[in-house]
Structure 1
Amino acid sequence: MTHKTPTLLLKTKSTPSDAYDEYFTNKNYNPLFIPVLSHQFHAANLAHIRDLFNTGALKHDNPERKYGGLIFTSQRAVEGFARMIEEDADEQIASDSSKSLPLYTVGPATSRSLSSLVTSHLPHATIHGTDTGNGENLARFILEHYNNLAGNKNGRGEKLPLLFLVGEQRRDIIPKTLMSGELPEGERIGVEEVVVYETCVMESFEGDFTKVIDSYKSEDYDGGGEKVMWVVIFSPTGCDAMLRVLGLDSSSNDNGNGVLVAPGKRVFVATIGPTTRDHLRLKYGFEPHVCAEKPSQEGIGGGIERFMEGRNGK
């Protein structure tokens, strides 16, 4: 029987189906999900956004319009926004407010989450930035797109700011880039951040991760070739616990050879993108073996395949 490479996906498995599960299963991996994060939505701030919709503060023909569009860089922010729209927003006003409303997003997963909401509740909104891949690229895209977008001003001819729905832990690259003092004043774009969810590491994560690694270590090894396990990281949160379980700290690195956790058994690490990779580099001195070129299952899978081919000398 063909050996399937165990692949630990440090995320909650999506329901009713998960694209990572389907992809890695079909590619002869054995995917296993270990949830890392727990999330709590910020009810008061989501209520504030609901009120913006219900009062027409986002309607394109309102001379007192407050914002020209919305920015999303996480699926959790989309989820909180979607719940608010579906459960609390006035359906007709939300639909009207979607006219000429750009929604900026980063990565295909977040875009897919937004697409279903647009279809059902915001029929006139448009989604942009799907293929930008990270916050820095998205910010550059927004500068080009929004500054040339008709209807980005209020009734007084002032450029409208963008509303950025975020978690309490985030990088500031997007607002810094859009509001940079190095830009000509006419090109700057105001950004107002609203925290719509909070994140923390699940109490069970380190124990769950330890159990899987210990089981891998204790599997029978016949010496007939090296066994490999991959760990895929989707967020900087929880990285310290993962490295602790693997026995790594700031003074140790594997020089690209993988973490030898038992005779003949190595663990390699892949990240969903440069934010998590840089977090591992800067905070822990650890260089992940793969960083996805695009934040998707294909991006992760393709990076793993190229790494293994190079390592095996193919």
Structure 2
Amino acid sequence: MQVLLLKEPREEDSGPDPYVKELAAHGHRATLIPVLSFKFVSLNTLSEKLFQPDKHGGLIFTSPRAVEAVKMCLEAEGRGEEWRLIKDKWNAKSVYVVGKATGDLVQNLGLKPLGEDSGTADVLSRLILQREDANILPLFFPCGSIKREVLPTALRENGVPLETLTVYQTAEHPDLQQNLSQYFTQQGTPSSIAFFSPSGVKFCLETVRQLSGKRLTQIKFAAIGPTTADAMTTEGLCVSCSAEKPTAAHLAAAIAKVLP
């Protein structure tokens, strides 16, 4: 069966995309179309914060892109040796993450992530509230321009100090509409379409509706997690399945159950 993945590809040096690989293991042929483009901002300020661990109570990462911003800072300024000393001070505090993909990237920076099993910011906020209180220094949260306010609101309402910094801006991928049109023209309507973010739903859904026409109801729509599923439902889509955890294996297993 044909499966369309509306997500970002892995970095070129990190091997085949795990979602494509897992779906192939279930006998499905997956095609990946990038939905978003990113522009990194405030990297000078981010770099300053990274080398001031004594001013913060810990770190929070809810997206791979935020970790990528950190990596860019360290590589651009050639401060790898200095980072090897500073990272131990961060590791003496708490480094919170949402999901295994973000956790793996955080580990590559030499940091020890907490919360890899949390699939959403809501779940992660509950973990943070179990471990932290109002007496800590502000947690530092580098994030994107269209982050959800679930985590900041939960921490603020419970008195846990938080400092956010927007380190990347999110926009629709410039080739998205063309790539979608080309896919439907060449391969037809897929058996399943997987969304990976509310932004993906926002940028793709109208085009998918137009291209699939009357065949829209035959498509099994999949979500990477509850936040994305909620965005799909809000737009009137029937969500056929949702991954139990935001991993390639869990999403592929969910899709395999709903495809004949």
* TM-score bucket (shorter structure): 0.7 to 0.9
Q: Is the 8 A contact 1:259 1:267 kept in 2?
A: no
SS of 1:246 mapped into structure 2: helix
Q: Is the 8 A contact 1:106 1:138 kept in 2?
A: yes
Partner in structure 1 of residue 72 of structure 2: 83
Q: Is the 8 A contact 1:231 1:270 kept in 2?
A: yes
Q: Percent identical across equivalent pairs?
A: 28
Partner in structure 1 of residue 124 of structure 2: 138
Distance of aligned partners of 1:94 and 1:173 in 2 relative to their CA distance in 1, 3 Å threshold: same
Q: Is the 8 A contact 1:73 1:166 kept in 2?
A: yes
Q: Is the 8 A contact 2:142 2:167 kept in 1?
A: yes
Pairing partner for 2:232 from 258, 280, 286: 280
- Larger of the two Rg values belongs to structure: 1
Where structure 2 has 5 or more consecutive residues not aligned to the other structure, the ranges are none
Q: Is the 8 A contact 1:106 1:134 kept in 2?
A: yes
Q: Is the 8 A contact 2:144 2:169 kept in 1?
A: yes
Distance of aligned partners of 1:294 and 1:173 in 2 relative to their CA distance in 1, 3 Å threshold: same
Supply the distance in 2 between the matched residues of 1:49 and 1:245 (Cα, whole angstroms).
Answer: 36
Q: Is the 8 A contact 2:191 2:218 kept in 1?
A: yes
Partner in structure 2 of residue 242 of structure 1: 204
Supply the distance in 2 between the matched residues of 1:127 and 1:246 (Cα, whole angstroms).
Answer: 37
| Alpha-carbon distance, 1:92 to partner | 4.4
Partner in structure 1 of residue 166 of structure 2: 195
Pairing partner for 1:116 from 103, 108, 115: 108
Partner in structure 2 of residue 24 of structure 1: 23
Supply the distance in 1 between the matched residues of 2:188 and 2:71 (Cα, whole angstroms).
Answer: 42
Distance of aligned partners of 1:79 and 1:303 in 2 relative to their CA distance in 1, 3 Å threshold: same
Within the alignment, does 1:303 sit opposite 2:254 as a pair?
A: yes
Q: Deviations over 1:122-142 (max 9, x none)?
A: xxx421000011100000011
Pairing partner for 1:206 from 150, 156, 177: 177
| Alpha-carbon distance, 1:162 to partner | 0.4
Supply the distance in 1 between the matched residues of 2:78 and 2:126 (Cα, whole angstroms).
Answer: 31
Supply the distance in 2 between the matched residues of 1:240 and 1:126 (Cα, whole angstroms).
Answer: 34
Q: Which amino acid aligns with 2:113?
A: I
Pairing partner for 1:13 from 9, 25, 49: 9
Supply the distance in 1 between the matched residues of 2:37 and 2:25 (Cα, whole angstroms).
Answer: 29
- TM-score, normalised by the number of residues in structure 2: 0.88
Supply the distance in 2 between the matched residues of 1:261 and 1:207 (Cα, whole angstroms).
Answer: 20
Pairing partner for 1:106 from 98, 102, 115: 98
Where structure 1 has 5 or more consecutive residues not aligned to the other structure, the ranges are 59-64, 119-124, 148-152, 219-227, 249-257
- TM-score, normalised by the number of residues in structure 1: 0.74
Higher helix share: 2
| Alpha-carbon distance, 1:68 to partner | 1.3
Supply the distance in 2 between the matched residues of 1:116 and 1:93 (Cα, whole angstroms).
Answer: 16
Partner in structure 2 of residue 71 of structure 1: 60
Partner in structure 2 of residue 224 of structure 1: none
Partner in structure 2 of residue 128 of structure 1: 114
| Alpha-carbon distance, 1:89 to partner | 6.2
Pairing partner for 2:43 from 46, 52, 60: 46
Q: Which amino acid aligns with 1:34?
A: I
Partner in structure 2 of residue 253 of structure 1: none
SS of 2:219 mapped into structure 1: strand
Q: Which amino acid aligns with 1:179?
A: R
